[in-house]
A and B are shown apart, each in its own frame.
Chain A
């Protein structure tokens, strides 16, 4: 649970944004949409592990 995850997500976000622009300029809007979705899914997979990790810790700690 370090700051590196924030940098990874930011890197994916910037990469997807750049790819989007390139694909839109090349006239392939639907592929641009697909890359955005792909980036989103990758980031979601990373985040889900951290969310479940944190919420389990909170549950055990606060006896929810």
Chain B
């Protein structure tokens, strides 16, 4: 799934959306959602290979896998939140989009707390 195909899919969706938006705004939002889904779904194999490569590299450098999996988790959270909030903004619902963004920030902080805690402990042990 090269970038050309993804660009063409995006353009086709936009043309169809403009066509339908005046008479039928609900279907237009669903159409933009469908376009986003297709492009994202075709990106998944590339994401998978990137993540596998990162995990292999982390095993070689024997970095603690906990940190790598946390980074991957945060990327996933950020990605899903951005996907949904952009659809809400396109539909004109800024409030819902900002709630989704807020929830994403909270989840990311929650996911990164263990590592921050570990960091503070190591700093404490170094200082004392």
**A interface residues with partner B (beta carbon < 8 Å):** 1-3, 5-7, 9-10, 12-14, 16-17, 20-21, 36, 39-40, 43-44, 47, 50-51, 53-55, 57-59, 61-64
Contacts and interface: CB of A to CB of B under 8 A. Distances in A.
Contacts of A10: 16, 19-20, 31
Interface in B8-54: 9, 12-13, 16, 19-20, 23-24, 26-28, 30-31, 33-35, 37-38, 40-42, 44, 47-48, 51
Nearest to B111: A64
B63 interface: no
A3 B38 contact: yes
Interface size band for B: 20 to 34
Interface string B69-82: 10011011101100
A51 B84 CA distance: 11
A56 B80 CA distance: 11
A64 B73 contact: yes
Contacts of B37: 1, 47, 50-51, 54
A40 B31 contact: no
A58 B79 contact: yes
A14 B20 contact: yes
Contacts of B20: 10, 13-14, 17
B24 A6 contact: no
B47 A6 contact: no
Contacts of B76: 58-59, 61-64
